[in-house]
Amino acid sequence: MSALLQSVRRVLAILSKELTQLRRDRTTLGMVIMIPLIQLVLFGYAINTNVRHIPAALVDQANTGLSRALTEAVEATQVVRFTERYVDIPAAQDAIVQGRVRAAFIIPPDLSQRVARSGSVGAGLATPPSTDEQTSRPVAQWIVDGSDTMIAGAIKGLRAMPLTELLRRPANRTTPTFAVALFFNPEQRSAINIVPGLVAVILTMTMVMFTSAAIVRESERGNMEMLINTPVRPLELMLGKIVPYIGIGLVQTAIILLLGHLIFGVPLQGSPLALAVATLAFIGASLALGLVLSTIATSQLQAMQMTVFILLPSILLSGFMFPYEGMPVPAQYIAEVLPATHFMRMIRAVMLRDAGLTEVAGDSLWLLGFTLAGLLVASLRFKKRLD
Amino acid sequence: MTEPVTDPVIEARGLTRRFGDLTAVDALDLTVEPRTIYGFLGPNGCGKTTTVRMLTGLLTPSAGRVRVLGHQLPRDAERLKRQIGYMTQKFSLYDDLTVAENLGFVAEIYGLGHRVARQRIDALLSTYALEPMRNRRAGRMSGGQRQRLALAAATIHEPALLFLDEPTSAVDPENRRDFWERLFDLVDAGASILVSTHYMDEAERCHRLAIMESGHKRADGSPDELMAAMGAQVVEVEAPNLRALKQRLSALPEVISAAQLGSRLRVLVADRIHDPVAWLRTQPLEPVPTALESARPSLEDVFVTSTGSHVGTGGQRA
């Protein structure tokens, strides 16, 4: 038998041994299915970047029909929900400090005059010509817990709220400065962006976790001393260890995308081939990364801690939660090293923006290089000696 | 197994291994002849496992030269691996695989052809009485069964040299006897075996053995040679209060050791006393012995005289 054939047989032996062990490990097998399932449903519903129903306090010092109409108009935007009512401003501020509300809406006693003035000139626009001292005064005030920038941003969005309804003027009197056409997600549903990203997050977690424990487990259970006494080569061991998990990664991807389509209506705009290439490249990179960790860790617990160390930046820096472009440049460099960043870019491009093979080629090649480098490093780091 | 070898299967000179400040094995010289069982006798922590790991190429010696089956170590460790079998002290096959799966895995790793592998596995299962538990998981078997499985896996590729590191530490005496029968069968078929142990009865079965103590080889030879060259004579003493007598005897400079065996004391007297029984009678002992009798030395006596320490025959572990 040729040396290559022998080598392939050893890889297959390790591969089938891993599969048998995996098949008997019901808990792990259950996690393979349940982790993507639960996380998809949980995050698909829970993560919402459109902030709505912020609890707010109302201080209505005018207490007129107009002020009540204004309050209703504000609540109709669904951005805030008035849960508390106070007579004076300090009480509302206390409520913010205590965290009972995130914002307070203060309607001054002279509301009708302010509205009348703004209405006479600005035709309902909240920013009347600033040259006019009299008409540039806002009609009411918001006090906001500005520590959360997303909540602050949502309330700031109310600044330009048109008052057309209050003034019983036709709505088409207001003309925005810019026209905005929202491509790919016109309804602005967060799930469209979240679900493809979840594939990257869940695969990072499971793939890195599985393989980071793979080599360490052999040592921890005492099998390594037997294994390194056989003719098996480090690279054969590495390959045999990761190949079974490629299948698992594909199964998890399929679960997330299928359910994402059925439950959240996430489309697949681009080519399935490009999706497959990108996913395989990413699975390979994650598995290789896990193997490298596995040659560093000396126990399964350490391997787990290292996995978390990789997982957190993969969630926070990869563009899953916050736009990559918004990060400072050094952070972008760090993000660029993480396989998840490249995959995040590719899977969103393919699924949402009709990207094909040519668009994902660059990131895929990068991940392929990462995979090969990781395999090489892991094989070199792995010593068939105990010293 | 290939043509009969006459060169030593293991030759080590000045083999040394240090772990930081600790010298686990110190300038060990070792020669193991083919088709023999060579024993490593010593208490836990004396460097037996370290030596075995150096001889299998798992550990790099700090100093010294080693040739195993003609391969220079550690340089040719990978080439050596196909020709040796190693049964580790701790069970190192997969608990969650069945007997047949474990053996099949090892056979594949050693590159046995499918047909050869099947024949070997069937033969091993019947040799080691594992046929009935072919499909049982290794983790659910008794100590004796696991040990037989480990030996079967270590010999599946018919190695010329077999290393066994305390192979019977988790096994009852009857299984131990059977196990040694299998070892002699392997030697009969042409293999050489190096076995480490802390059991005297096991050491006595070896063709040759080395007595190890804290990294040093204190003595080596066949069990008979070792007993003949012990440098002490054995007297068995009976007396009413053995504990008190033992204290008195131990205080005498000519007495190397006195150990109680049931209702008798086994006393090792230095060789410079010509007639130890007569000599003991002249000693002012309290209580006075009721019977004194010369006895045949055992391997444990050899161990005590060469190391100055006492190894129990039980299974105590450090």
Distance CA B49, CA A207 (A): 37
Contacting residues for A58 by C-beta, under 8 A, at least 6 apart = A71, A82, A84, A85, A86, A104, A105, A107
d(CA B55, CA B10): 8
Q: What is the DSSP string of A308-366?
A: HHHHHHHHHTSSSSS-GGGS-HHHHHHHHHSHHHHHHHHHHHHHHH---HHHHHHHHHH
Q: Which pLDDT score is estimated for B189?
A: 92
Provide the number of structural domains found in chain A: 2
Residue A180 in any domain: the answer is no
Q: Do the domain assignments include residue B144?
A: yes
pLDDT of residue A124: 46
Note whether A223 contacts B97, CB cutoff 8 Å.
Answer: no
Q: Do B84 and A6 touch (CB under 8 A)?
A: no
Which of A217, A229, A233 should be substituted to probe chain B, the one whose Cβ sees the most B Cβ atoms within 10 Å? Answer: A229
Distance CA B198, CA B190 (A): 26
Residues A208 and A338 in one domain: yes
What's the domain count of chain B? Answer: 2
The 3-state secondary structure of B113-128 reads CHHHHHHHHHHHHHHC
Does some domain include residue B247?
A: yes
Q: What is the mean pLDDT of chain A?
A: 86
Residue at B3 is within a domain? no
Q: Check whether residue A42 and residue A87 sit in a common domain.
A: no
Q: Are residues A200 and A346 in the same domain?
A: yes
Regarding whether A129 and A226 lie in a shared domain, the answer is: no
Cα Rg, chain B, nearest whole Å: 22
How confident is the model over A315-324, as pLDDT tens digits? Answer: 999 988 888 8
Same domain? For A318 and A374 the reply is: yes
3 state SS of A106: strand
A383 touches B at CB < 8 Å: no
Which pLDDT score is estimated for B73? 83
- Beta carbons of A13 and B94 less than 8 Å apart: no
The boundaries of the domain holding residue A207 are 3-47+188-381
B35 torsion bin: left (phi>0), alpha (psi -120 to 50), beta (else): left
Tokens of A206: 């499971």
In this structure, are A157 and A239 located in the same domain?
no
Of B77, B92, B111, the CB nearest to A225: B92
Query: Is B5 within a domain?
Result: no
CATH number of the domain that residue B260 is part of:
3.30.70
Q: Indicate if B218 and B244 belong to the same structural domain.
A: no
Last-in-domain residue among A144, A173, A202? A173
* A353 and A213 inside one domain: yes
Q: Verify that B137 and B248 share a domain, yes or no.
A: no
* Cα atoms in the Cβ-side hemisphere of radius 13 Å centred on A33: 4
How far apart, in whole angstroms, are the C-alpha atoms of residue A19 and residue A248? 11
pLDDT at A353: 87
Domain boundary among B200, B222, B244: B222
**Distance of residue A307 Cα from the nearest chain B Cα, in angstroms:** 25
pLDDT of residue B312: 39
A1 touches chain B (CB under 8 A): yes
CA-based nearest residue in chain B for residue A220: B92
Q: What are phi and psi of A155, to 5 degrees?
A: -70, -35
User: Looking at this predicted complex, what is its ipTM?
Assistant: 0.80
Q: What is the per-residue pLDDT across B172-197, written as a single tens digit (0 to 9) for each?
A: 888 888 889 999 999 999 999 999 98
Q: Check whether residue A246 and residue A118 sit in a common domain.
A: no
CA A315 to CA A328: how far, in whole Å?
Answer: 16
CATH of residue A69: 3.40.190
The helix or strand, by DSSP H or E, that contains position A82, with its residue range, turns out to be strand A80-86
DSSP B172-235: -HHHHHHHHHHHHHHHHTT-EEEEEES-HHHHTTSSEEEEEETTEEEEEE-HHHHHHT-SEEEE
Paired with B30 in beta bridges are B12
* Residues of B at the A interface, defined by Cβ within 8 angstroms: 53, 56-60, 74, 77-78, 81-82, 84, 86, 88, 90-97, 101, 105-106, 108-111, 113, 153
Same domain, B177 and B261: no
- pLDDT value at position A158? 86
User: CB atoms < 10 A from the CB of A375, how many?
Assistant: 20
Residue B41's CATH number: 3.40.50.300
Contacts of B92 in chain A (CB under 8 A): 222-227
Q: Could you tell me where the DSSP H helices lie in B252-298? A: 276-282
Task: Tell me the pTM.
Answer: 0.80
The C-alpha of B28 sits at a distance from chain A's nearest C-alpha, in angstroms, of 19
Q: Do residue B212 and residue B109 come from a single domain?
A: yes
Say whether both A261 and A202 belong to one domain.
yes
Which of B95, B97, B110 lies nearest to residue A20, judging by beta carbons?
B97
Q: Does any domain span residue B214? A: yes
Both A123 and A244 in one domain: the answer is no
User: Which pLDDT belongs to residue A270?
Assistant: 85
- The token duo for A164 is 């057309």
Residue B306 lies in a domain: no
User: What does the DSSP 8-state code read for residue B240?
Assistant: S
B135-162 mean pLDDT: 92
Query: Are B24 and B15 a contacting pair, CB within 8 Å?
Result: no
Q: Are residues A372 and A304 in the same domain?
A: yes
* Residue B156: predicted pLDDT: 93
Alpha-carbon distance of B205 to A386, in angstroms, equals 31
Each residue's pLDDT tens digit, A344-364: 999 999 988 888 888 889 999
Give the confidence band of A1 by pLDDT, cuts at 50, 70, 90.
low
Q: How confident is the model at residue B4 (pLDDT cuts 50, 70, 90)?
A: low
The reply to whether residue A231 touches residue B93, judged by beta carbons under 8 angstroms, is: no
**Domain shared by B175 and B210, yes or no:** yes
Of B59, B81, B96, the CB nearest to A386: B59
Pairing relation of β-strands B161-165 and B84-87?
A: parallel
**Beta-strand relationship, B232-238 and B71-73:** unpaired
Q: What is the pLDDT of residue B204?
A: 87
Q: Is residue A339 part of a domain?
A: yes
Of A10, A25, A386, the CB nearest to B109: A10
Q: Tell whether A9 is within 8 A of chain B (Cβ).
A: yes
CA-based nearest residue to A208, from A92, A120, A288: A288
Query: Are residue A362 and residue A225 in the same domain, yes or no?
Result: yes
In a domain, B1, yes or no: no
Residue contact B58–A1, C-beta within 8 A: no
- What integer pLDDT is reported at residue B303 of this predicted model? 83
Contact list, A20 vs chain B (CB under 8 Å): 96-97, 101
- Per CB-CB distance under 8 Å, the chain B contacts of A384 are 58, 77-78
Quickly state the pLDDT bin for A128 (edges 50, 70, 90): very low
Q: What is the domain extent for residue B208?
A: 10-222
pLDDT of residue A123: 46
Are A111 and A70 in contact, with CB atoms under 8 Å apart? Answer: yes
Flag whether A35 is in a domain. yes
Same domain, B39 and B175: yes
| Cα separation values, A266 from A182, A280, B33, Å | 16, 21, 73
**Is the model's pLDDT at A168 over the cut of 70?**
no
Is residue A182 in some structural domain?
Answer: no
